[in-house]
Amino acid sequence: MKVKFFYGWIIVAIATLSLLISNGLSIGGFPVFYKSIREDFVRIGAVEASQAESFIGLGAALTFLTAGFISPFAGWLIQKFSTKKMMIVGCFILGIALILHSQAQTAWLVYFSRILMGASLGFVGVLATTVLVASWFVRLRGTAIGILLTGTSFGGVLIPQIASPLIERYGWRTAMISVSLIIWLILLPAIIFLVKNKPSEIGLFPDGDESPIDENVAVNVKNQEGLTLFEAMRTPIFWVFALCAALIFYPIFVTSQQFILYLQSEKIGLSLQQSSYAQSALFIVSVAGKFFFGFLSDRMSPTKVMLICCTVMFLATLILLNLTAITAFIFLIPFGLGYGGTFVLLQRLVADYFGNRDYPKILGVITVVETVGASVGGIITGRLADMAGGDYTQAFYAVIIVTGLALASVIALSFMHKERKPAIQIS
């Protein structure tokens, strides 16, 4: 007889909460602090006004870059010491990073704090939470992980709405300490008292079944299909795919991190609260994109779905040619849909193109490439804005160009995959 309620869904809820808080406080929701931080550091003389946008862009890039490069090391530690222990470590790193940032008076301490935020994502971000959820589910793993990944978007929805009124009333430093309490009072206790690494720790089996499903033979056969990491790296499609991932993450990162500064610039003129609504809207729409295009990819060619997503993103960026307060929200709807879709499809296409044999390793390398593309985008955007005296117009023209190049790379992939499909057919 099956239990009425499977404890694994509690695990999914806590893992999703972990993503919401960790990504929300370090990536998705953090841009709501940017304008106040920038103005404060210019005022106290810690940053030159002519380099203020680069200061913000570099900080964001450091977080994302660190998160990518620490992932292989974090994965090793999770295997060695358990997911729960590393998630606790991640909470402490993120909480300390926010406290340090809130007290920073120099640019280097801000950079150090942003690096710590990136490091925390290796332990309480997507990697750790996916490993945790995958340990609790086999038959329902796709559904469970799909629910989990919505946390990356909902963090960008909720954190700005919590932080922006605190910033306006108490200032960014007090607001940052206040939101860090979410970690200490909610997330950390939930992990300590409720998380179990695997069902066997409390006498259960995956999915809540009465007995384990012996899928070892099928899994072992399936894992032999496809290419090893080094075999994949010797194929042209790997490098085109890697370039595609880097080009896609450039506009995704820049829009999610620096578009809010564009909205608050003199040209657009939105308030902090209005800009926070736009920030949240981007992530709300991306959730719809993840579900819709993920669903669509199960019913038609994933490569074609990826092409649709990237086309939608590119067409949306054309609105940036004449951006106003009104068209800014129009831009975010199709762009957010395409962004959510490409996020899901990039994970899936690694298996479709190269098989399951070395999927974690190949995905790990692609993840590092994505973070490099995103970080380069953040740095370039900040510098272009500084060169224009704080105006982000030219910087976002560059986003249009890069998104167009991303679309071209997806078109190239669609032709290359057709040619290679018989050689790496995935069951």
Q: Is 295 in the same domain as 200?
A: no
Q: Based on the domain organization, do 315 and 393 belong to the same domain? A: yes
- Asked if the structure places residue 216 within a domain, the reply is no
Q: Residue 418: its pLDDT value, please?
A: 63
Task: Report the CATH number at residue 406.
Answer: 1.20.1250.20
Specify whether the CB–CB gap between 191 and 15 falls below 8 A.
Answer: no
Clarify whether residues 166 and 258 are in a common domain: no
Domain limits for position 265: 225-421
Number of domains composing the chain = 2
Question: How far, in Å, CA of 323 to CA of 319, rounded?
Answer: 6
Co-location of 205 and 239 in the same domain? no
d(CA 370, CA 377): 11
Supply the pLDDT for residue 166. Answer: 95
Q: What is the pTM of this model?
A: 0.79
Smallest CA-to-CA distance from 372 within 229, 236, 242 is with 242
164 with 23, same domain: the answer is: yes
**Residues 185 and 229 occupy one common structural domain:** no
Q: Domain for residue 427, yes or no?
A: no
Q: Is 70 a domain residue?
A: yes
Residues 116 and 246 in one domain: no
Tell me what pLDDT residue 203 has.
87
Are 159 and 286 contained in the same domain? no
389 lies in a domain? yes
Q: Which of 121, 108, 99 is nearest to 175 (CA)?
A: 99
25 part of a folded domain:
yes
Are 90 and 123 spatial neighbours (Cβ–Cβ below 8 Å)?
yes
Q: Are 273 and 318 within one domain?
A: yes
Spacing of C-alpha 392 from chain mean position: 23
Residues 6+ apart with CB under 8 A from 104: 110, 113
Distance separating alpha carbons of residues 248 and 32, to the nearest angstrom: 23
Which pLDDT value is given to residue 420? 46
Main-chain phi, psi angles of 290, to 5 degrees: -65, -45
C-alpha 116/C-alpha 33 separation (Å) is: 17
Q: Among 181, 211, 241, identify where a domain stops.
A: 211
Q: Residue 220: inside a domain, yes or no?
A: no
pLDDT for the residue 213:
58
Tokens for 244, please give them.
């595609």
Residue 83 counted as domain residue: yes
Q: Would you say 383 and 52 are in contact if contact means Cβ atoms under 8 Å apart? A: no
89 with 182, same domain: the answer is yes
Residue 426 lies in a domain: no
Residues 292, 314, single domain; the answer is yes
Same domain, 349 and 407: yes
What is the model's pLDDT at position 1? Answer: 45
- Which pLDDT value is given to residue 126? 83
Per-residue pLDDT tens, the chain, 427 aa: give them: 444 789 999 999 999 999 999 999 998 889 999 999 999 999 999 999 989 999 998 998 899 889 888 888 887 888 788 889 999 999 999 999 999 999 999 999 999 999 999 999 989 988 888 888 878 887 777 678 778 878 888 888 899 889 999 999 999 999 999 999 999 999 999 999 999 998 989 888 888 877 765 444 444 444 457 788 899 999 999 999 999 999 999 999 999 889 999 999 988 989 888 998 998 899 899 888 888 887 788 788 888 999 999 999 999 999 999 999 899 999 999 999 999 889 888 877 887 888 777 766 787 788 888 889 998 999 999 999 999 998 999 999 999 999 999 999 999 998 887 644 434 443 3
